[in-house]
Structure 1
Amino acid sequence: MSKSDTTLRKTTIAAIKRRSKKPFEWNITRFYETERPEDIGPIKMELGLQGDELPVASSISTHTDWTFVTTRRVIGKTDNVKSAININDVEKWTWGDFKGYEDQQKTMITLTTLEGREHKFVIETRNASMVMIYAIRTLLQLSRK
């Protein structure tokens, strides 16, 4: 039996909180314990949330450079090109320069499907990177149970 989207979000947010350094304040990254339209802003229309799908976390740099993790997908836009991948379809991943060794505020992560198709998404580096990494990792673990 699959878990509800509400349960997936609660479990994922708990994992993020356990692994992220406090205070939970970052430049372009946040997680969503509730869904209020003002929290998500104009990007909500581009997400096309399906059914009971809920937002979990995001890194939003600009309206053309963002990544959203939902209870079912990773959706993003980089250089005005939109990409989406179902969590269940992710086979491999690379987290880029998430520690910020290159002294950049953002890095590109790559999620690869079972068919070998690569999807690139932007995330914030350093402490904020744990939000997006653990959102994706936790949802991957939950989807494979």
Structure 2
Amino acid sequence: MKSDKSIHNISIAAIKRSTMKPYDFKWTRFYTDNAEFIQWYSGIEIELSENELVICSTIIDADNFSVLTTRKLVTKENGTLMAGNRIGAKDKSHGDFKDYYAKKPLTFGSILLDNGRDLKYFIEVHKASMVMIHGVRTWIRTESMTNDQVEKVARIWTRQNENMADFKAPGAITSD
């Protein structure tokens, strides 16, 4: 069984790998630890098991949010709470995350749960969309990976992310 920490590490590495900086989105965040989530959203109560870690979220208000943890995806839409786990889940849709059609700041992604039920989740459109899309996608994919594979990929992606942080494109304008 994969540890919560290894699922968290690979998910955060995937998010950082695919999301353009700066990470200053209106509703969407990813978290290095649970304390960071609580610091930002003390009014959002998500029941966490021992060692369960918050990966990312899109939080509009207390009645409309999605939170991805290492064990479940939780969405509250108009006050109605829904949740599901990744076992047997399939990535289904990312909605209009580029905002081509609806011209709205939010869209819904969805996953198909093992029991045949769809579970929607909020996605903030444009650059922020990559946080929830890659968080959920990676979270689902870890089910078919071994713990060693998850840890190895997380290490590689984290190292690549760190190397890219130091990269300066030739001819780039910098403040140095």
Asked whether the two chains share a fold, i.e. TM above 0.5, the reply is yes
> Which residue does 2:106 correspond to in 1?
106
What secondary structure sits across from 2:135 in the alignment? helix
Cα deviation, residue 39, structure 1: 2.8
- Paired residue type of 2:120: K
> Which residue does 2:24 correspond to in 1?
25
Q: What are the superposed Cα offsets for residues 76-110 of structure 1, whole Å, 9 maximum, x if unpaired?
A: 10011000010113134111111111221100112
> Which residue does 2:51 correspond to in 1?
52
Deviates more, 1:31-40 or 1:8-17: 31-40
> Which residue does 1:42 correspond to in 2?
43
Deviates more, 1:31-40 or 1:5-14: 31-40
> Which residue does 2:7 correspond to in 1?
8
- Paired residue type of 2:137: R
What secondary structure sits across from 2:98 in the alignment? coil
Cα deviation, residue 115, structure 1: 2.8
TM-score by length of 2: 0.76
Question: 1:11, 1:91 → 2: CA distance?
Answer: 18
1:83 aligns with 2:82: yes
Q: Percent identity?
A: 32
- Extract unaligned runs of 5+ from structure 1: none
Aligned length: 142
- Paired residue type of 2:58: S
- Extract unaligned runs of 5+ from structure 2: 146-176
TM-score by length of 1: 0.92
What secondary structure sits across from 1:52 in the alignment? coil
- Paired residue type of 1:48: E
Question: 1:120, 1:104 → 2: CA distance?
Answer: 17
> Which residue does 1:120 correspond to in 2?
120
Alpha-carbon RMSD: 1.2
> Which residue does 1:130 correspond to in 2?
130
Cα deviation, residue 41, structure 1: 1.7
